[in-house]
A = this chain, B = another copy of it.
Amino acid sequence: MEEVRRPRGRPRKPVLLQAEPGLARLGLHERAVQRLRGLIVGGELPAGADLVETDLSAALGISRTPLREALKLLAAEGLIELRPNRSPRVTELRPGDVAALFEAIAGIERATAELAAHRMGEADLAGLRALQTEMEAHHRAGALAPYFALNHRIHGLIVAGARNAPLRDAHDALHARAELARRRALGRRARWDESVAEHRAILEALEARNADAAGRLLSEHVTHTGAALLAGLCPPAATDAA
């Protein structure tokens, strides 16, 4: 059934990651969550990979107990799938999942934008303006790499501006998976132009404290982004110049 079927286990990824000096005050399971999340969205643990507890615990330098706790948490985020008496697997994003994901993010970010339009302070808006300026500079310079980082920070600032912990948490949980989809279909220059323009419009709506417009624009922006990702992901044909 599956084309990418590992024999039984043993993806044999010599990941070997431990010793996080900065954030050492957290529990092992929490560090494992962060590390594994990074490995998954970073692509080091590819979609469909089997996560064998013994190997992973050895690679992370921890025992299976905190690792299993971390795996449960990642499964709750949807990054991996748990199957009874089977190795957990890194979730495979099907096009339908990506579409649903961005629908959900669009809805949540619209709600945050509407709240943020009323609740962001001038300092917040100034920060957003600065990021927008920086982003446009990168855009003009053609620096695509920093764009993603800026994009992430801008969306995060708007979400934080809503001052709503549940919405923030829900957004963060979905964002990891969205990042996972994002790295599959990057380099869409045309979409990049649109995206920067949309961000500017969103900023202006927030500055005008226009909640409806901010929410609508941000929702549409996320929807467009999702559609672009989906287009670059689902039918990769029609560009078979190779």
Interface residues of A, Cβ cutoff 8 Å to B: 25, 27, 29, 65, 68-69, 72-73, 76, 78, 84, 97, 100-101, 103-108, 110-112, 114-115, 163-167, 169-170, 173-174, 177
Residue of B nearest to A65 (CB): B65
* Closest Cβ–Cβ distance, residue A169 to chain B (whole Å): 7
Tell me if A's interface is mostly helix, strand, loop or mixed: helix
Q: Evaluate contact between B65 and A167: CB separation under 8 angstroms.
A: no
With beta carbons under 8 angstroms apart, the residue of B73, B101, B112, B164 that contacts A166 is: B101
Residue of B nearest to A85 (CB): B27
With beta carbons under 8 angstroms apart, the residue of B72, B84, B115, B177 that contacts A69 is: B72
With beta carbons under 8 angstroms apart, the residue of B115, B163, B174 that contacts A170 is: B174
- A29-B72, A76-B73 are contacts. A111–B104 as well, Cβ < 8 Å? yes
Residue of B nearest to A111 (CB): B107
Residue of B nearest to A112 (CB): B107
Q: Evaluate contact between B107 and A27: CB separation under 8 angstroms.
A: no
With beta carbons under 8 angstroms apart, the residue of B27, B97, B104 that contacts A84 is: B27
- A72-B73, A78-B169, A170-B174 are contacts. A164–B104 as well, Cβ < 8 Å? yes
Residues in B whose Cβ lies below 8 Å from that of A27: 84
* Closest Cβ–Cβ distance, residue A30 to chain B (whole Å): 9
Q: Evaluate contact between B65 and A164: CB separation under 8 angstroms.
A: no
Instruction: Tell me the complex Cα distance, A216–B110, Å.
Output: 13
